[in-house]
Amino acid sequence: MEFVFRRSYRGGLKAAILDWAGTTVDYGSFAPTAAFIRVFASHGVTIELAHARAPMGLMKKDHLRAIARLPEVAARWQAAHGRPCTEGDVNAMFAEFVPLQIEVLADYAGLIPGTLEAVRDFRAQGIKIGSTTGYTREMMNVLVPEARRKGYEPDAWVAANDLPAGRPYPWMVYRNLIELGIFPAEACVKIGDTLVDIEEGLNAGLWTIGVALSGNELGLTQAEAEALSPDTRATRRQEITARMQQAGAHFVVDGIWQAGAAVSAIQARLAQGERP
């Protein structure tokens, strides 16, 4: 046989899987950082904001573990305790972290500008809205109602501890697609503000859109971001875009308010038979 049949999907996008903090809520992704800093401080170890942000997007226990493994933090832990940070230490810190995080989540539940408009535009195109997160279900039980009160409610959401592993594993994305009744994977796009968001989407076989300025990579409030000089903003955008593209992002936008153009570009590529 000289020819082999190969199916090629030519339909449009069916689902957008959105991240939460830094993508749809909490401009700058600040809710987790203060809690991480406080937890390490309670164990006699000082960490900086950059340490707290470095593993952003992971399930929060994985995030704590990743912070503790950063060389500078590991050295400080060794100096403070005379031994490396253990899994028991991580478990103890996570037990402290959960109530601290829940305590402040409602304060950081403000919608990022453009979220409602983007969701409305996606739904007008027949695109369902799913979501994944580094937050646990206990945390999401606080955040989801707060977002709903502000007008945002995805069609499905999955928490990081609902499945055996969170990002960068694709399981949360797969659970979203099951709940939404959506296939194939190439008919879906993942939108998020961290490199692990991009990795999650790629591992699941989705198109990916990175968010450069409203999330963890820039790490500024909306007011701080808008106060940047044009040259500084352009430089930071270029640096973040390069990191996201290196991680495999198909498109990078400033914020969800720009996602519509990237979605239209993906629709055009799908119509030509392209896959992620």
Question: CA 53, 55, 57, 62 torsion: positive or negative?
Answer: negative
Edge-to-edge strands, sheet with 128-131: 128-131, 15-18, 188-192, 207-211, 251-253
Catalytic annotation, pick one of 14, 26, 60, 89 = 60
Let me know if 60 is a catalytic residue: yes
Q: 33 near 53, Cβ under 8 Å? A: yes
Q: What is the DSSP letter of 110?
A: P
Q: How far apart are CA 66 and CA 56, in angstroms?
A: 9
Print burial letters for 182-192: b (CB count within 10 Å at least 16), e (below 16).
beebbbbbbbb
Cα angle for residues 229, 233, 237 (degrees, 5° grid): 175
19, 26, 193, 197: which is the annotated catalytic residue? 19
Are 15 and 130 spatial neighbours (Cβ–Cβ below 8 Å)? yes
Q: In degrees to the nearest 10, what's the CA dihedral of 145, 149, 151, 157?
A: 0
Residue-wise DSSP of 212-243:
-SSSTTT---HHHHHHS-HHHHHHHHHHHHHH
Apex 61 CA angle, 236 and 28, nearest 5: 25
Amino acid at 231: D
Residue 54 DSSP SS3: coil
Active-site amino acid positions? 19, 60
